[in-house]
Amino acid sequence: MKLSRRFLMNALSLILLFFVSMANYAQLPNLTKKQMIADFDSLQALIHKYYFELPLQKRRTGLNIDKEFVQLKRKLDSAESTEQFVTIINQGLNTLYDKHTYITSKRLIKWYASNSRCYIPEGDITQNDTLFAEKYIRLSELSTDSIFAKIKCQFKAKYMNGKYYNVRPFKYNGEIIRSGEEVTHIDGIPINKFINKNHNQMSFILWDPMKKCWYSDYFKAGLLQIGRQQFTLTINNKKINLDCYKPLDIIQTDFKMIDSPKILMLDSGLLYIRMPSMQNSAWYENEFLKKYSSQVKKIIIDIRNNGGGSDGVWQDLLEKIIDKPLHWQFNVGLYHNKVIEEGIKSFGKIMVNKNKAIIDNEVILTPDSNSVKYKGKLYILQDKYSFSAAAALSSVARQNENMIQIGEPSALIVGYGFPPIMLKLPNSGLVFNLGFTADLSGGKDNPYMDKVEVPIVEDDINEYVDKVLNYDCYSRNYLIQKDKMIKYVRAN
């Protein structure tokens, strides 16, 4: 059938009108100052209501959330746009320096709205909230991809034991700025003082429990977040003017590292399992059963730089390894909320005392029918970046004599817990995730769950530079020849 020109033009007009209407519908709300303040106050109230780790953060870092929010609220006086408002909200979330707390993505809103209603304790969060989600993320500069995509300057820093060092050698005004030279100042301000003063405005911030200070290996990205595209570093008493958008004359770049899941024999009796994330359970199970033999005397599970995923991944793997039931105490605290508790009651007995609740349960993991019945020690290698599901494995290791936890103390409060809850601010419709539990199994001796059974700290700066510039640190040769944690396992 031949369609008339007028019909086609009318149809096209309707299609265009539809997309224009959708675009207008998806426009972020134009907030009044009163609405901005109300949403900011709502954020502060929700943190107090649900963020169970808040007293722990105060004890560990000295964080006073109300004092921080007083300072942030003053910025609202001069906020004239939604972008400025979102930046302040993001800084409020950054104040908690909790990797489970962030402005929510479109993908997560879809998942929670469809599958995890128990983690939405209040407010009506639906698929419609996905319309604003990515815009809010972009406005907050929260997306690491968007930040690092803008940065052309290849300067790389490393924080160690209270000091910062240059990692990549580069030329500047005819001089060579060498690897390992100390970075002492940003724009004339001592670097630790600068980072600690601005920590709540910057992503990628961590806490040094030994030096009792905030720090960031990625302060370059943080500087861009606070509007310092151009900045001056003092490196070995030399003033180096840098611009985030301009490349440096780099002499040597990082060695290409391949950090993928792997299981390999380091020698005749030592089996090494590299888990960069807690995903793809079937691969680990199948590969382990292929590689394991009766000659294996020690097994290493390496969760360094593992940001988490699903607890089921490491649990399924352990079921293929262990020869007898593995016991641990699941002891998690949260603020009392009937909606949340109804959704997680299958994890254990819930005991409520006023506004607090504790979920307590003895978990027993039994060997799988095709377990290899391994009887030796399991060595868990962690670093300060191991988090979430990876930290849950560390929590189990602390409670079992047959599992040895080795590595760096965590830079975060870690341990067992649940996925974050999802909340929404009433006027802006901004949706964010908030961590809401704390692992209590460490008791008074280890309240932050950051301690390590066998502490093996990071390399000194020269060893670190050598590793980064000259090796794939997860290659077989490096692990055997240079890795300190592997050397400890082989010697004990």
- For every residue of 159-214, DSSP letters joined together read EETTEEEE-S-EEETTEEE-TTPEEEEETTEEHHHHHHHHGGG-SS-EEETTTTEE
Burial class (CB in 10 A: 0-12, 13-18, 19+), 351: exposed
What's the rounded Cα separation, in Å, for the pair 406 and 385?
13
Beta strands 189-190 and 182-186 are: antiparallel
pLDDT of residue 24: 40
Give residue 137's identity as a one-letter amino acid code: I
**What is the length of the chain?**
492
Q: How large is the angle between the packed helices 130-140 and 106-115, nearest 10 degrees?
A: 140
- For every residue of 428-464, DSSP letters joined together read T--EEEE---EE-TTTTT-TTS---SEE-PPPPHHHH
Q: What are phi and psi of 397, to 5 degrees?
A: -60, -40
Residue pointed to by tokens 């007009």: 13
What's the rounded Cα separation, in Å, for the pair 301 and 102?
29
Task: Indicate yes or no: pTM above 0.75.
Answer: yes
CA distances from 78 to 36, 38, 91, 302, 403 (A): 11, 16, 16, 48, 55
Helix or strand (DSSP H, E) at 249: strand 249-250
Token digits for 484? 């300190």
Strands (DSSP E) found in 347-487: 349-353, 356-365, 377-382, 403-407, 421-424, 431-434, 438-439, 454-455
Burial class (CB in 10 A: 0-12, 13-18, 19+), 107: exposed
pLDDT of residue 159: 96
Per DSSP, 322 falls in state: B
Give how far the C-alpha of residue 301 lies from the chain's centroid of Cα atoms, to the nearest Å: 20
Using alpha carbons, select from 300, 302, 315, 255 the residue that is nearest to residue 276. 302
Alpha helices in 95-170 (DSSP H): 106-115, 130-140, 144-150
The answer to whether the beta carbons of residues 492 and 377 sit under 8 Å apart is no
Burial class (CB in 10 A: 0-12, 13-18, 19+), 82: buried
Using alpha carbons, select from 158, 231, 150, 151 the residue that is nearest to residue 189. 231
The answer to whether the beta carbons of residues 276 and 259 sit under 8 Å apart is yes
pLDDT of residue 144: 58
Kindly give, in sequence order, each residue whose CB lies less than 8 Å from that of residue 261, ignoring residues fewer than 6 positions away: 274, 275, 276, 280, 283, 284, 287
Per-residue pLDDT of the chain (492 residues; tens, 9 = 90+): 444 545 445 545 544 444 433 434 468 888 999 999 999 999 999 999 999 999 999 999 999 999 999 999 999 999 989 989 998 999 899 899 899 999 999 999 999 999 888 999 998 899 999 999 989 988 876 555 677 888 999 999 999 999 999 999 999 999 999 999 999 999 999 999 999 999 878 878 899 988 999 999 999 988 988 889 999 999 999 999 999 999 999 999 999 988 999 999 999 899 999 999 999 999 999 999 999 999 999 999 999 999 999 999 999 999 999 999 999 999 999 999 999 999 999 999 999 999 999 999 999 999 999 999 999 999 999 999 999 999 999 999 999 999 999 999 999 999 999 999 999 999 999 999 999 999 999 999 999 999 999 999 877 999 999 999 999 999 999 999 999 999 999 999
Kindly give, in sequence order, each residue whose CB lies less than 8 Å from that of residue 320, ignoring residues fewer than 6 positions away: 285, 288, 289, 368, 370, 371, 372
What's the rounded Cα separation, in Å, for the pair 349 and 199?
39
Would you call 241 helix, strand, or coil by DSSP? strand
**Residues 309, 455, 51, CA angle at the centre, nearest 5°?**
45
CA distances from 140 to 86, 90, 134, 150 (A): 6, 6, 10, 14
Q: What are phi and psi of 8, to 5 degrees?
A: -65, -40
